Amino acid sequence: MSKSEYLKLKNIPIIIVFIIWCVAIYITFQAAPEGFWDKLISTYRDIRVKDGILVVLSPILALVLTGLITPANKARLVFWKWKYPLPGHRAFSKLALHDSRINLNVLERKLTTVPTDPMDQNRVWFAIYKNFKELPTVKEAHRSFLLARDLTSISFIFAFLGFLGLLLFGHRPTWALLYFALMIGHYLVLAITARNFGNRFVSNVLCEYTTNKSPQ
């Protein structure tokens, strides 16, 4: 099992709770709009505590929803860049320059040549990451990024599929659009959060690299 797969498994319980929350929102919108907030909290509580089929299947549902979108497309949903979406693609040209913890002189001395091409930046950064991936600052930043990235993609899936589902069940377009706006709000907040965690993850690796006394 790879390191990222292990960290994803550790995130599964939180992802399950978030999926239940998204399902509760959708079920509430399928019902009448009256007493929306009370109905939402009640639905979420019922789904969370019931020994129903959703609870039993929720680990499988979590794996499906987190695997439905490829890692590259998840990065696009987070960073809003079609080409070179990974934060490692900007590790040296942007992120290192804006992090005061990173000694640029040490970085240049260790690397000899600092890469500028996005693909080269990600390749060199990843090679550095492999030497520091077990450190707590790197491991926790990586886990937080993977979690926020997966929640972002799940919000995106629920926004569009739930919107279509409400229309197919005959709800008014305005009601379906309200649901869509709410879930897109989830998506935007989580995308910004995941972006910050992703950038921090890349910067933490470079910070450890520049403060480590070994020449690697």
* Domain spans of the chain, in order of start: 3-211
Out of 110-114, 170-174, 186-190, 212-216, which region has the weakest mean confidence (pLDDT)?
212-216
Residue 38 clears pLDDT 50, i.e. is over it: yes
Read off the pLDDT band of 1 (50, 70, 90): very low
Measured over the CA atoms of residue 38, residue 41, residue 47 and residue 48, the dihedral's sign is negative
**Choice between 16 and 124, residue whose per-residue pLDDT is larger:** 124
What is this structure's pTM? 0.84
- Phi then psi dihedrals of residue 170, to 5 deg: 85, 15
Instruction: Express as a percent the part of the chain with pLDDT over 70.
Output: 81
Which structure tokens are listed for 60? 């499988």
* DSSP classification of residue 213: S
Asked if residue 50 has pLDDT above 60, the reply is no
- Sign of the alpha-carbon dihedral angle for 154, 156, 157, 163: positive
pLDDT of residue 48: 58
- Cβ contact 87:95 at 8 Å: yes
What pLDDT is stored for residue 213 in this prediction? Answer: 60
pLDDT mean over 157-183: 86
Q: How far apart are CA 162 and CA 28, in angstroms?
A: 11
